[in-house]
Amino acid sequence: MDTDNRLSILIVDDNPVNLKLLETILTKDGYRVFSAADGPSARKLAAHERPDLILLDIRMPEEDGFEVIKLLKKNAGTMAIPVIFLTGVSEIDAKLSGFELGAVDYITKPFHPREVLARVRLHLKLSIATNSMIASQAEKLKQITEAQAALLTTPAMQPEARFGVYYHALQEAGGDFYDVLAISQSIFGYFLADFSGHDIKTSYLTASVKALLKQNTSPVYQPLESMKMINDVLAEIMPEGKYLTACYARLNRKAKQMILINAGHPPMIYVPKQGQAEIMEMEGDVLGIFKDVYFGQRQMEVAAGDRFFLYSDGLIESLAEKNVWTQNLEIIRRACESVRDLPIETAPGEIAQILRPGAFQAEDDVVVMGVEI
């Protein structure tokens, strides 16, 4: 196994004299050096060895330095490696073109050892500092992601709730949030919300909403009362310009009764065990802006085997396609109906696959939750 931890530099020059000179200068200063006499060999070495820095000659036959750096920047494995161009004294246009293509600096021929070492050290220091900053930020965002994920319950954590969920966050701090609440032995609450905006503040607001749900969804409160109390608190604490749309379903399994609440959110889809799926459209105000609000409510009798699907607008809304969720309700109704025979644990993922097939380019967070009576 390779245990050489020295900083490494790849030199690319079709002139063997230049290669030897630079290799001698850098090796004496303690660097690990790789050499290539042409573009294709250089790119292959760069991809395999992942050097910390590349010294790249501009004037080479066939594949010149411009073409090499273009291809390096297109490769995910080499795009972040800093490149210093090797140029002639009068090649002003070449230097400018090099900067435009992503080079960080240039060294003028003929080389002076002290200048070579000074520029190499400078850009290695900058690269190390940048990579350290990126790693630090990535670790912080990872912690935020893990903390937010820890707030999201799973079917395995509450098997008696009989639900399935598909969750895809666009960014580390997702703007969509869901929760499943065991209100009593036979009563369960299912909540799904979509925060305006996707930033770090959102990850903290989800914790607040989870706490509010736990505090205000006991059996003594009717679902409408619960949502109004939660809204009153959110209206006090939400940052200016922030709000959330939400839907809430409370199921009494023993009484076979479902109560649905809508707060400016896309409507739930009801899929009876037998018969056609139904869009449960209700008007309602959003949560967290003002206290004097109206929420849509619907109460219905349900039977064993019936299903309800809650989802966020990212599932059926696309800015690229210039459509909003209100235009696609029939599409999601049919999708929910088409998975009626699948296990409830996998049905939400299949719905997401139907509406957002393959490795789709997400424009928003996507959450789909299925509930089975």
Q: Supply the DSSP string of 296-338, one letter for each residue.
A: EEEEEE--TT-EEEEE-GGGT-BTTTTB-GGGSHHHHHHHHHH
CA dihedral 268, 273, 275, 277 (to 10 degrees): 20
Predicted pLDDT at 237: 80
Q: Quick: pLDDT tens for 46-60.
A: 999 999 999 999 989
- Provide CB contacts within 8 A for 249, sequence distance 6+: 189, 190, 191, 258, 259, 260, 261, 268, 308, 310, 371
- Domain(s) of CATH 3.40.50.2300: residues in the chain: 8-137
Question: How is residue 227 written in tokens?
Answer: 């949502």
- Provide CB contacts within 8 A for 157, sequence distance 6+: none
d(CA 303, CA 319): 38
Predicted pLDDT at 236: 86
d(CA 35, CA 192): 57
C-alpha separations of 142 from 134, 139, 171, 215 in Å: 12, 5, 11, 29
- Domain(s) of CATH 3.60.40.10: residues in the chain: 151-372
d(CA 266, CA 246): 8
Whose tokens are 């820890």? That residue is 150
Q: Are 121 and 92 in contact (CB under 8 A)?
A: no
Q: Are 363 and 313 in contact (CB under 8 A)?
A: no
Phi, psi of 87 (to 5 degrees): -135, 165
Type of residue numbered 182: A
C-alpha neighbours within 13 Å on the C-beta side of residue 277:
21
C-alpha separations of 335 from 264, 327, 354 in Å: 22, 15, 7
Confirm or reject CATH 3.90.226.10 for domain 151-372, answering yes or no. Answer: no
Name the stretches of the chain with pLDDT < 70. 1-4, 89-91, 134-151, 170-175, 197-204, 317-326, 358-364
Considering the domain 8-137 in this protein, what is its CATH number? 3.40.50.2300
d(CA 181, CA 157): 11
Whose tokens are 């896309």? That residue is 266
- CA nearest 243: which of 179, 175, 301, 189? 175
C-alpha separations of 27 from 9, 19, 90 in Å: 10, 12, 29
d(CA 131, CA 139): 12
Which residues are 302's β-sheet partners?
none
Question: How is residue 359 written in tokens?
Answer: 């490795």
d(CA 182, CA 278): 26
d(CA 89, CA 293): 72
Type of residue numbered 104: V
How many Cβ atoms are within 10 Å of 111's Cβ, its own excluded? 15
d(CA 130, CA 114): 24
Q: Are 364 and 337 in contact (CB under 8 A)?
A: no
Question: How is residue 91 written in tokens?
Answer: 């090649």
Predicted pLDDT at 190: 97
- CA nearest 228: which of 242, 246, 241? 246
d(CA 14, CA 311): 59
